[in-house]
């Protein structure tokens, strides 16, 4: 396997992991399958597009065309995407969590509401911006590195590094902060969490905003490779959901491993001459279905060795 393929696979895996980990955390701690994750993705992309479009003249005026200008633009892009993602999380909290979280059928109803939100948002974007693709400024530039005889594009490297950084930050937050501990406690036993003085309403908001921000980050990173369009969130949503399921919903490490697996699988299928790019989705689904039929709890089921 050559290095280019590995980098490509890592690139895919990084984006998938951002989506899947968000979906997985949200499901196990709050009990919402967030179908609006794709909408969050698209909204963040558009927010970044609008904001960078507005900031470009300002930044050009302040820094000219120096390296500082690129840096400021990158900051503006990432920050706007993150903030838009978090705000989407807030909207989901207000619509799909707060009114119904102690009513019957909460999980199914939350799924339906987020699904409705997804459709409504995507259609609104289509209506307002039209189906045209929008290109965002390339914050990593267009160059390539020569490493061990293969070329690595800057945006690929940037995506991998950025995603790894964000994932590491998220995991560290979950692991070491007090709020993260509360989230993990709620993921594992909601009733026990209540007995430990952890409020569901107070924990759900940061989790929803965090997962929204993760989707925003994924949008910002993916915008370096492909264009932003109203429906650009659908494929990441479906991929994120499938990978979260493959990882065994609720298992963060399972989702990470699943993202890596699927990333490599897609890269390999795309590279094999007689299969090619057309069979990527096909192959991934078949792989996931096969794994789930053999191990119904996904990869997380293999990792979890605690007693029932």
Alpha-carbon gap, residue 132 to 213, rounded angstroms: 25
Of 65-73, 75-83, 119-127, 218-226, the segment contacting another protein by CB under 8 A is 119-127
> Residue 196 CB, nearest distance to another protein (Å)?
5
Of 11-19, 79-87, 158-166, 292-300, the segment contacting another protein by CB under 8 A is 292-300
Residues 76-95 that bind another protein (CB under 8 A): 95
Q: Does 273 bind another protein (CB under 8 A)?
A: no
150 DSSP 8-state letter: E
Site map 181..220 versus another protein, x via CB under 8 A? xx-xx-xxxxxxxxxxxxxx--------------------
Q: Quote the Cα angle for 98-33-213, to 5°.
A: 75
State both tokens at 266.
Answer: 């897609």
> Which residue blocks in the chain are alpha helix, DSSP H?
3-30, 37-63, 67-92, 106-129, 154-176, 178-188, 190-195, 200-222, 234-246, 252-271, 280-294, 298-303
> Is the CB of residue 63 less than 8 Å from the CB of residue 72?
yes
Single out the residue of 66, 124, 133, 277 in contact with another protein (rule: CB under 8 A). Answer: 124
Residues 134-153 that bind another protein (CB under 8 A): none
Coil, strand or helix at 147: strand
Single out the residue of 58, 60, 68, 108 in contact with another protein (rule: CB under 8 A). Answer: 108
Q: Does 271 bind another protein (CB under 8 A)?
A: no
> Residue 48 CB, nearest distance to another protein (Å)?
23
> Is the CB of residue 155 less than 8 Å from the CB of residue 162?
no
Q: Does 243 bind another protein (CB under 8 A)?
A: no
Which residues of the shown chain bind another protein in the complex (CB under 8 A)? 33, 95, 99-100, 102-105, 108-109, 112-113, 115-117, 119-120, 123-124, 126-127, 178, 181-182, 184-185, 187-200, 234, 238, 241-242, 245, 249, 278, 281-282, 285-286, 288-289, 292-293, 296, 298, 304-307
């Amino acid at each position: 396997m050559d290095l280019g393929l590995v980098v490509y696979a890592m690139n895919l895996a990084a984006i998938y992991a951002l989506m899947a980990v968000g979906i997985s955390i949200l499901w196990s701690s709050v009990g919402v399958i967030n179908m609006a994750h794709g909408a969050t993705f698209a909204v963040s992309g558009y927010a970044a597009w609008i904001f960078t479009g507005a900031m470009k003249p300002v930044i050009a005026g302040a820094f000219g065309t120096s390296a500082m200008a690129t840096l400021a633009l990158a900051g503006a892009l990432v920050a706007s995407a993150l903030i838009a993602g978090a705000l989407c999380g807030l909207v989901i909290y207000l619509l799909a969590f707060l009114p119904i979280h102690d009513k019957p059928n909460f999980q199914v109803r939350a799924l339906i509401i987020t699904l409705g939100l997804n459709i409504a948002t995507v259609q609104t974007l289509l209506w307002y911006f039209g189906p045209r693709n929008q290109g965002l400024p390339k914050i990593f530039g267009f160059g390539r590195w020569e490493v061990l005889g293969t070329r690595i594009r800057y945006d690929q490297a940037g995506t991998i590094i950025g995603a790894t950084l964000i994932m590491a930050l998220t995991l560290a937050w979950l692991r070491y902060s007090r709020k993260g501990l509360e989230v993990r406690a709620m993921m594992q036993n909601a009733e026990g969490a209540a007995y430990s003085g952890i409020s569901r309403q107070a924990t759900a908001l940061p989790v929803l905003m965090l997962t929204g921000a993760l989707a925003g980050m994924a949008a910002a990173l993916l915008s370096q490779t492909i264009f932003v369009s109203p429906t650009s969130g659908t494929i990441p949503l479906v991929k994120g959901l499938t990978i979260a399921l493959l990882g065994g919903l609720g298992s963060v490490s399972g989702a990470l491993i699943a993202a890596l697996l699927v990333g490599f699988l897609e890269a390999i299928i795309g590279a094999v001459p007689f299969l090619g790019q057309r069979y990527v989705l096909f192959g991934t689904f078949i792989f996931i279905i096969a794994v789930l039929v053999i191990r119904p709890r996904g990869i997380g089921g293999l990792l979890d060795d605690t007693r029932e």
